[in-house]
Amino acid sequence: MKKKQQQRLLSVLVSGAVLLSGSAAFAEEQEFNLDEYVVTASRMPVKKTETAASVTVVTREEIEKSGAVSVPDILKKTTVTMQNDRTASVPTINGDVRVLVLVDGREVNWKGGGMHMGQSGANLDYLPSVDSIERVEIVRGPASALYGSDAVGGVINIITRKSSEPVTRYSAEGGSWGLRRYKLTTENKVGDFSYRINFERERQDDYHYKRSDGQDARALNTALDQDKLGIRLDKEFGNDRSLTLTIDHTDGRKGFNVMPDAILFAKSGGSTNYFANIVQPYVENNVALTYRWNQGEKNNNFIRVYRNYLTYNYDRHMDYTYPDYYFNGLSYTNQADGAEWQQTWQLSDTYTLLGGASWREVTADSVEYPISFMGVQGYNYSDKKISNRAFFLENNWRLPKNWSVTAGVRYDDYTLFGDKTTARITANRELNQNTNVFASWGQIFKTPFIADVYGGGFMVPNLNLKPETGDVITLGMNTRLAAGTELQASVFSSRLNDALDYIMVGTNKYQWQNIAELKRRGLDISLKRRLSPQWQVTAGYSYVKVEEQGATEREEFNNNEPHGYRLGLQYGQDKWDADFALRGATGRDLRAFTSSDYWVVDLGVKYQINPATRLYLKVYNLTDEAYELHGSYGDASGFTGLYPMAGRQIVIGIDQRI
């Protein structure tokens, strides 16, 4: 899409909001209430009009109507960008993959690192079943002063459901490429005790994709075999005190083929497929115990202890021509133990103080074997640790004329990287009950992974790595226009010093180094409009410009959505629900992608046979688009199209309530 066309489409999105707001024909109460409370931006419940941040909330109702089956599926309609290399789904906010991912406020990023999780250490494919999710909160911009390292581009908080009634339901669905997915949920509340149990089983054969030349291809060795179990137990003690135990378990096997077979076949002279036999088994177990008291507006007090555990390995590739060719990964283990305390003090009607402390220790092990004829050493390490002690304090003042100001500071002390103090300042003005404008400045602090420091595979150790640092400025507004149109807009500018990147330091040898300075600037616009009781439309546009001054310019050229577009249309009446979603991007660099743009359509239809039974149909990538969400600029292969996304997939299912 040419520049004039981009400007035209952006103009349509913005002017459409104004035109819709001027119509009095559909003056219905909007489904999305701008005054709803959000927790993530301030670590305590605050009205959106008092929040100095660009926040998107995806509610339980929206998740159910969309038919989403995973967290990446939920995020498709937002301006969060996904990077997907066929082995992991990694979120990007404001053009930055350094995103903090939380489950009920608990960090699930991995400091141990590992392959194919990018510089966030988060893989959204491992997160809890969608049936356990109450809402998802997305905060754009840095949050290091509140949450510490990893919160550079923004924060995604997945908030799980607490049971309130007796319900048992199951669903079964099947679809293209031998998809079989089964779900069972049972929950209840008896007196002051409640429980929820979710189980999900998914099986799928190798998927197909559309090549850039228009040909249909099978992605060999991409089959999935995965089970998920989620348990939440809640005990109320009265006087607004409660205890919550959550357990999440994921156990699976998936084929590890990160390159298109057709390309590898051609590059190797038609004789070898290097990754055809590698399978990745993985297990993740997360347990958290949280005690809460005095919950409510601007009050979020808790003590939490938790353990996160992830292990995965690669069944050794045994090609008869090259017994150990090209791939030397064997097994990786990450374990995170942590404890958190948070307290809010309502010191007056206009002054709230938030404070807390945390301790977190990540232990990592890596076992690899050498590739002798390529001269690649297997860098093994065992019981390597990164631990951190942190303290944070944030002041929140309500000032005259509906101004609010926050000033916060956080102190982190890492065993490998020393100590660091980060700060943030925000200002918010409620112009009226429907509109607020805000400005924020925050510092960035991002520590390297254990794998970056101690090496692995083709990566040479580097014990001299430093944390990435910088700052971000954000300006924005949230408003509800006439007749129930909600419009959000924000602009940002960020600077990241000592940015990490890997470079070649010898034949078949690479190393992570602090070699780059990254600058990002952009904007984000989204609107939501209730057209009638039956129809609702959503739209979004994002722009991100990445400038990298470094040895590779990898992040600059691999920007997968310089211009991102979202359009959604939802219909619901009587027994029918329908959901249409368009997402796309333009302006991508052809040195990293096979096409400068892509446009993908998903469609879902549900029919309620009776109060207990529902049938549904979902079609992903309706037009069978050939596209990638992960750039390949700077990869050793030297060609694009390494990570093609799946082609058209049709899914049919039934949901039954017992």
Q: What is the pLDDT of residues 479-531, one digit of tens each?
A: 988 777 889 999 999 999 999 988 888 887 889 999 889 999 999 999 999 88
The average pLDDT across 235-254 equals: 93
Contacts of residue 418, defined as CB under 8 A and 6 or more positions apart, other chains included, come to none
User: What is the Cα–Cα distance from 92 to 119, expressed in whole angstroms?
Assistant: 10
User: What is the Cα–Cα distance from 396 to 46, expressed in whole angstroms?
Assistant: 11
Element (H, E) at 71: helix 71-75
Q: Within 10 Å of residue 138's Cβ, how many Cβ atoms? A: 24
The average pLDDT across 302-320 equals: 79
Element (H, E) at 17: helix 3-21
User: What is the Cα–Cα distance from 528 to 480, expressed in whole angstroms?
Assistant: 9
User: Is residue 10 scored above 70 in pLDDT?
Assistant: no
Pair of tokens at residue 499: 């940015």
What's the 3-state SS for 246-296?
A: EEEEEEEEEECCCCCHHHHHHHCCCCCCCCCCCEEEEEEEEEEEEEEEEEE
Contacts of residue 608, defined as CB under 8 A and 6 or more positions apart, other chains included, come to 575, 576, 577, 614
Q: What is the pLDDT of residue 84?
A: 82
Residues 157/105, Cβ–Cβ less than 8 Å: yes
Q: How far is CA 320 from CA 210, 220, 377, in A?
A: 30, 18, 21
Q: Which CATH number fits domain 34-145+163-657: 1.10.1040.10, 3.30.2270.10, 2.40.170.20, 3.20.20.70?
A: 2.40.170.20
- Secondary structure of residue 9 in the 3-state scheme: helix
Q: Whose CA is closest to 362, among 314, 412, 415, 410?
A: 415
Q: Whose CA is closest to 58, among 562, 405, 566, 427?
A: 566
Q: How confident is the model at residue 35 (pLDDT cuts 50, 70, 90)?
A: very low
Q: Concatenated DSSP letters for 309-351?
A: EEEEE-PPP--SSSTT-S--EEEEEEEEEEEEEEEEEEEETTE
The distance of Cα 545 from the centroid of its chain, to the nearest Å, equals 20
User: Is residue 9 scored above 50 in pLDDT?
Assistant: no
Q: How confident is the model at residue 30 (pLDDT cuts 50, 70, 90)?
A: very low
Q: Concatenated DSSP letters for 109-156?
A: --TT--TTSTTTT--GGGSPPGGGEEEEEEEES--HHHH-TT-SSEEE
- Secondary structure of residue 402 in the 3-state scheme: helix
Q: What is the pLDDT of residue 1?
A: 44
User: What is the Cα–Cα distance from 82 to 470, expressed in whole angstroms?
Assistant: 23
User: Is residue 658 scored above 60 in pLDDT?
Assistant: yes
User: What is the Cα–Cα distance from 373 to 378, expressed in whole angstroms?
Assistant: 13
Q: What is the pLDDT of residue 33?
A: 43
Residues 494/142, Cβ–Cβ less than 8 Å: yes
Q: How confident is the model at residue 17 (pLDDT cuts 50, 70, 90)?
A: very low
Checking phi first, is residue 239 left (phi over 0); if not, alpha (psi -120 to 50) or beta?
A: left
Residues 177/208, Cβ–Cβ less than 8 Å: yes
Q: Concatenated DSSP letters for 435-473?
A: EEEEEEEEEEEEPPPHHHHH-BTTBPP-TT---EEEEEE
Which carries the bigger pLDDT value, residue 317 or residue 590? 590
User: What is the Cα–Cα distance from 130 to 67, expressed in whole angstroms?
Assistant: 10
C-alpha atoms less than 13 angstroms from C-alpha of 332 in its C-beta half-sphere: 26
Residue 576 one-letter amino acid: W
User: Is residue 28 scored above 50 in pLDDT?
Assistant: no
Pair of tokens at residue 51: 């929040």
Give me the phi and psi of 426, to 5 degrees please. -130, 155
Q: Within 10 Å of residue 64's Cβ, how many Cβ atoms? A: 15
Contacts of residue 12, defined as CB under 8 A and 6 or more positions apart, other chains included, come to none
Pair of tokens at residue 341: 């305390």
The average pLDDT across 89-105 equals: 91
Contacts of residue 11, defined as CB under 8 A and 6 or more positions apart, other chains included, come to none
Q: What is the pLDDT of residue 259?
A: 63
The average pLDDT across 635-653 equals: 83
User: What is the Cα–Cα distance from 344 to 293, expressed in whole angstroms?
Assistant: 10
Residues 524/140, Cβ–Cβ less than 8 Å: yes
The mean pLDDT value of the chain amounts to: 85
User: What is the Cα–Cα distance from 588 to 400, expressed in whole angstroms?
Assistant: 46
User: What is the Cα–Cα distance from 379 to 253, expressed in whole angstroms?
Assistant: 24
Encode pLDDT of 532-581 as tens digits: 989 999 999 999 999 998 888 889 999 999 999 999 999 999 999 999 99
Pair of tokens at residue 579: 């959901």
User: Is residue 16 scored above 60 in pLDDT?
Assistant: no
Residue 533 one-letter amino acid: P
- Alpha-carbon Rg for the chain in angstroms: 24
Task: Among 97-106, 257-266, 339-348, name the one with the lowest average pLDDT.
Answer: 257-266
Which carries the bigger pLDDT value, residue 451 or residue 541? 541
* 3-state percent helix, strand, coil for the chain, nearest multiple of 5: 10, 55, 35
Residue 596 one-letter amino acid: S
Q: What is the pLDDT of residue 310?
A: 92
Residues 179/203, Cβ–Cβ less than 8 Å: yes
Q: Whose CA is closest to 437, among 482, 401, 479, 472?
A: 479
User: What is the Cα–Cα distance from 524 to 412, expressed in whole angstroms?
Assistant: 31
The average pLDDT across 363-392 equals: 82
Q: Within 10 Å of residue 577's Cβ, how many Cβ atoms? A: 20
Q: What is the pLDDT of residue 638?
A: 62
Residues 53/440, Cβ–Cβ less than 8 Å: yes
Give me the phi and psi of 641, to 5 degrees please. 80, 25
Element (H, E) at 493: strand 485-506
User: What is the Cα–Cα distance from 514 to 535, expressed in whole angstroms?
Assistant: 50
User: Is residue 328 scored above 50 in pLDDT?
Assistant: yes
Task: Among 19-28, 40-49, 315-324, name the one with the lowest average pLDDT.
Answer: 19-28
